[in-house]
Structure 1
Amino acid sequence: MVVEDERALAELVGTYLEREGFEVMITSDGVDAVRLARQADPDVIVLDVGLPSLDGMEVCRQVRTHSDAYVIMLTARTEEVDTLIGLSVGADDYMTKPFSPRELMARVQAMMRRPRTGVASGQTAGSVPREPVRTFGDLDIDGDGRDVSVAGVPVSLTRTEFDILLALAREPGVVFTRPQLIASVWGPNWVGDAHLVDVHIGHLRRKLGDEASRGRYVRTVRGVGYRMGTGR
């Protein structure tokens, strides 16, 4: 779904997507976007920040209450605070206008290669090993159910936040660099700012109640990257 009030840009993005075999719906209105997202359950939403009736930030916030679609936000604003706000309401990625449609297609394709559930694409639940529930102190991570809790209290994560946490939890003794996390979560063909990882890690820590200075659950290894903490 393309949500963009600049008609020419919306049609251009839609054309590129259709050439790649995607079924595309286009709307220029924020309220309509929330309704369509609920009805059609799209895999990916390309969402402009500046929309009439309901801006992209609020659209994303409302969509996240019922949809796990990947969300790429488009913004004409370059200030870092706008990026942070967009990701904090549940966006997975962002692009600043003007942008290359080919780069947007590369990001969409990389997202579509990520499974929508804990089961790998093209496989049935019975054909792959079950994910064990991983525990780090008070933190429990259920890979199959995609559930996370701290001290028994459920924690609501975006799909990208969960995927980052699970990637780290699967190899708790391994330090992941940003490029390694990107390859694991976004896919090896993803293009964009590697510091996007840091923003998602920051939101993940906040939701887990994990102070960066302590790193109980997600620990920073200075000059290298991130690894799982012990939970203590």
Structure 2
Amino acid sequence: MTRVLVVDDEPHIVSALVINLEARTYEVDSASDGATALELAAARHPDVVVLDLGLPDMDGIEVIRGLRGWTRVPVLVLSARHSSDEKVEALDAGADDYVTKPFGYVTKPFGMDELLARLRAAVRRAEPVGGEQEVSVVETEGFTVDLVAKKVHREGRDVRLTPTEWHLLEVLVCNTGRLVSQKQLLQEVWGPSYGTETNYLRVYMAQLRRKLEADPSHPRHFVTEPGMGYRFER
């Protein structure tokens, strides 16, 4: 059975979604703020998230980025924000689709049939291939990476990483065993305008190895593929 996480701080919206989803045999969890949404996502592993951007404790964009740190669960934004810039920001952060609540939606319901159709499409696109499973904690013999809590432990202690170091580690760990190109790493960590500044990667990879590898000069986990990119191996 498909599990849906509904994230919205407007009770009438949540109620309408829960009633319609449960009537169609979906299992539904709900959250009225971003922190609760991230906790529920980690605990309940929904198949799709329906997310409002205007939350009381954080912007929905932050929720999307928090999810994308460890999961590829489809995120369907349902928001009253209509500007193209805001839609682009949500999609660039990792949302899979965007449905706008119409003006006057408090008294005029939004298109439930369209929303449900988009939800079904998002779930279909996300069906796992080859038995892949998402994990939120990655363990090696020397350290542990908690992608939800955004923490790294080594020899029983927290390892302090800078935001850039963490983002680089996050991208590599989420692609365990796969070659990640230099350009992809630069654009995901530093932004879309970067793509040739490979010296950045050399500096920050050296810092990660120094903090996490048993022998930084002979790395086991952060492997360089010369001229191509980097690979994280457990």
TM-score normalised to structure 2 length = 0.53
**Residue 50 and residue 146 in structure 1: after superposition, are their counterparts in 2 closer, same or farther (change >3 A)?**
farther
Once the two structures are superposed, the pairs formed by residues 14-25 of structure 1 within 5 Å of their partners are: 14-25=18-29
Q: Is the 8 A contact 1:44 1:69 kept in 2?
A: yes
Q: CA deviation at 1:153?
A: 7.0
Identity among equivalent positions (%) equals 36
Match of 1:27 in 2: 31
**Residue 36 and residue 22 in structure 1: after superposition, are their counterparts in 2 closer, same or farther (change >3 A)?**
same
> Is residue 22 of structure 2 the alignment partner of residue 51 of structure 1?
no
* Matched position secondary structure for 1:113: helix
Q: CA deviation at 1:111?
A: 1.8
Q: After TM superposition, which residue ranges in structure 1, 4 or more long, deviate above 6 angstroms? A: none
Give the unaligned 5+ runs of structure 1: 122-144, 158-204, 211-232
Query: Cα deviations across residues 195-230 of structure 1 (Å, max 9, x unaligned)?
Result: xxxxxxxxxx949949xxxxxxxxxxxxxxxxxxxx
Match of 1:150 in 2: 181
Q: Which amino acid aligns with 1:32?
A: T
CA distance in 2, matches of 1:115, 1:28: 25
**Residue 101 and residue 66 in structure 1: after superposition, are their counterparts in 2 closer, same or farther (change >3 A)?**
same
Q: How many residues align?
A: 141
> Is residue 121 of structure 2 the alignment partner of residue 90 of structure 1?
no
> Is residue 78 of structure 2 the alignment partner of residue 74 of structure 1?
yes
Q: CA deviation at 1:63?
A: 1.3
Q: CA RMSD in A?
A: 3.0
Larger radius of gyration: 2
Match of 1:111 in 2: 122
CA distance in 2, matches of 1:109, 1:58: 24
> Is residue 104 of structure 2 the alignment partner of residue 100 of structure 1?
no
Give the unaligned 5+ runs of structure 2: 103-109, 133-175, 197-234
Q: CA deviation at 1:151?
A: 5.1
Alignment equivalent of 1:8, drawn from 2, 12, 26: 12
* Matched position secondary structure for 2:21: helix
Match of 2:66 in 1: 62
* Matched position secondary structure for 1:25: strand
Q: Which amino acid aligns with 2:127?
A: R
Match of 1:128 in 2: none
